[in-house]
């Protein structure tokens, strides 16, 4: 699977990238969080534009280069709608205007597009025309679909043209998380682009810390106790745990006894 290079960060490479969200509601809080992200061990910063107290396109365009400069990391701009667990509660036209403005904004490297919304293919095309990469996303905030449905969702994101395919589900049982990991592995084997997946909630922890073993290209860690989704692990703990797991993966196995 070809990896995506974001400066010095490789998305879809041998090591899962660490993404931290910025959730500030005003300029001061947002830029302070971006400074905190710059001092962290995160690889990528996700700016949750939907959580601004006034997520107007003009304001987002003005803020984007400042956020990018303060964070000093590749910047993923996300407008998460209420339907998928976010704060943006407007029609698809307004959603498209904001996403389109972010695609044109200085400092933005990737733009999230919710693929379940009408006209997602056209919006993905517009983001690409602006020279930005697309993270196609689907979020199930109340359940975990069956394995086949989850693979089909990731496949449909790729067919729409997303450069990265992302799926988040809500785990109500351990079996839910197991299905999410199985779907991730199946989609990873099939698709020719990076996949990001997670099971939200306490029962989904294994998907956040060991997702790369099943084909997930990144994990989301919280910054300063502020999370953007249920079950996010503090970024320092996530980096430490994933680092220890990497070291364990490299430990040689026991030698077979000779006859």
The DSSP string of 54-109 is S--HHHHHHHHHHHHHHHTS-EEEE--BGGGTSSB-S-HHHHHHHHHHHHHSTT--
* pLDDT at position 226 over 80: no
* pLDDT at position 228 over 80: no
pLDDT confidence bin for 258, thresholds 50/70/90: very low
Beta strands in the chain (DSSP E): 4-6, 9-11, 17-22, 44-48, 75-78, 110-114, 133-139, 164-170, 195-200, 218-222, 233-234
* pLDDT at position 255 over 70: no
* pLDDT at position 30 over 90: yes
What value, to the nearest 5°, has the Cα angle with vertex 204 and ends 183 and 149? 25
CATH number of the structural domain 12-137+203-232: 3.20.20.70
Average pLDDT (132-136) is 98
| Separation of alpha carbons 43 and 171, rounded Å | 26
| pTM recorded for the entire structure | 0.92
68, two tokens: 């990018």
Provide the β-strand partners of residue 75: 45
Sign of the alpha-carbon dihedral angle for 26, 31, 15, 204: negative
91, two tokens: 């029609």
Average pLDDT (78-106) is 95
| Separation of alpha carbons 176 and 180, rounded Å | 6
Percent of the chain beyond pLDDT 70? 95
pLDDT confidence bin for 259, thresholds 50/70/90: very low
pLDDT confidence bin for 246, thresholds 50/70/90: confident
| Separation of alpha carbons 217 and 192, rounded Å | 13
* Tens digit of each residue's pLDDT (9 = 90 or more) over 158-180: 999 999 999 999 999 999 999 99
Could you list the active site residues? Answer: 139, 166
Residue 253's pLDDT is 62
Q: What ranges do the domains of the chain cover?
A: 12-137+203-232
Average pLDDT of the chain, as a whole number: 93
pLDDT confidence bin for 92, thresholds 50/70/90: confident
């Amino acid at each position: 699977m070809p990896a995506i290079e974001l400066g010095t960060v490789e998305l879809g490479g041998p090591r899962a990238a660490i993404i931290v969200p910025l959730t500030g509601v005003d300029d001061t809080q947002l830029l302070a969080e971006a400074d905190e992200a710059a001092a962290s061990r995160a690889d990528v910063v996700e700016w949750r534009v939907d959580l601004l107290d006034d997520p107007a396109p003009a304001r987002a365009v003005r803020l984007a280069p400042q956020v990018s400069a303060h964070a000093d990391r590749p910047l993923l701009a996300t407008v998460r709608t209420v339907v998928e667990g976010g704060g943006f509660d407007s029609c698809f036209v307004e959603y498209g205007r904001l996403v389109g403005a972010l695609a044109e904004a200085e400092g933005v490297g990737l733009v999230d597009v919710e693929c379940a919304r009408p006209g997602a293919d056209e919006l993905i095309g517009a983001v690409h025309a602006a020279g930005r990469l697309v993270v196609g996303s689907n979020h199930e905030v109340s359940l975990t679909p069956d394995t086949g449905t989850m693979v089909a969702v990731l496949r449909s994101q790729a067919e729409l043209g997303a450069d990265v395919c992302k799926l988040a589900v809500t785990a109500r049982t351990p079996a839910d998380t197991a299905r999410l990991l199985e779907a991730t592995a199946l989609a990873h084997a099939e698709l020719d682009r990076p996949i990001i997946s997670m099971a939200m909630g306490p029962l989904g922890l294994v998907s956040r810390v060991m997702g790369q073993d099943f084909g997930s290209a990144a994990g989301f860690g919280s910054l300063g106790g502020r999370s953007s989704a249920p079950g996010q692990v503090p970024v320092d703990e996530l980096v430490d745990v994933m680092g220890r797991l990497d070291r364990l993966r490299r430990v040689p196995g026991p030698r077979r006894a000779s006859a």
